[in-house]
Amino acid sequence: MKARAVKAIMRKDITAISSNIQIWLPMIFVPLIFSIVLPCILILPARFSALSKVGNIEPILDLLSNLPPGVLREKVLSLNTTEQQLIFFSVNYLFAPLFLLIPLMSASVIGANSFAGEKERKTMESLLFAPLDLPSLFGAKILAAFLPALLLTILCSLFYGIIVNVVAYPLFREVIFPQGNWLVLLFWVTPALSLGAILINVFISAKVKGFQEAYQLGGLVILPLLALIIGQITGLLLV
């Protein structure tokens, strides 16, 4: 009985997500930019023109020349051209923190809708009468947010890898994505980050009155990741 009730709540929440454009539109729009548009913007110009003709790339070239000793530096500097070095470094390392925004934003949006959405739809009372204790109810809400966020991230990574390898193949004549750091990012960092964001957002959602308030407060969990992205771009941190 408890397992069926948990599945029913998860199914209801996922259906509510798919039927609400306010929730699923940002979940689709941002991943499309990161997984399709961003690699094309980087790789296609490098295929058809020399980087020497592009202005304001000196900071990135300085970053490449000052990489700390290790596997990353050896791999990047072993490539023949500046275009290859820039593309390989960007798609495998520089863009990695940006991709973490996908599970974080998805988890935040869905988690914010968990209890706040029930309050707006005036279904909270009937939910509390479900044959579930509170830990099981919270668990169902967390799983209903965690599974779509993780699935979306995996699908976006697949699309990203296909786009990168297809568009970059004429330059490299080999598959350049993924590297080992992406596997760690996808199968360890992403689930942990998503779960943490969901726990925070579900707790906030249970305390506030509506979805917008929950979403705005829950969006604060993105701030530490933005600091990581800035550190990655400036060369202070490399993940």
pTM check: above 0.75? yes
pLDDT band at 239 (very low <50, low <70, confident <90, very high): very low
Taking only the tens place, the pLDDT of each residue in 131-174 is 667 777 777 778 888 888 888 888 888 999 999 999 988 888 88
Of 6 and 198, the one with more pLDDT: 198
Q: Where in the chain are the domains?
A: 2-50+59-234
Taking only the tens place, the pLDDT of each residue in 42-94 is 888 877 766 655 556 666 667 777 776 767 777 777 878 878 888 888 888 87
Widest CA span in the chain:
67
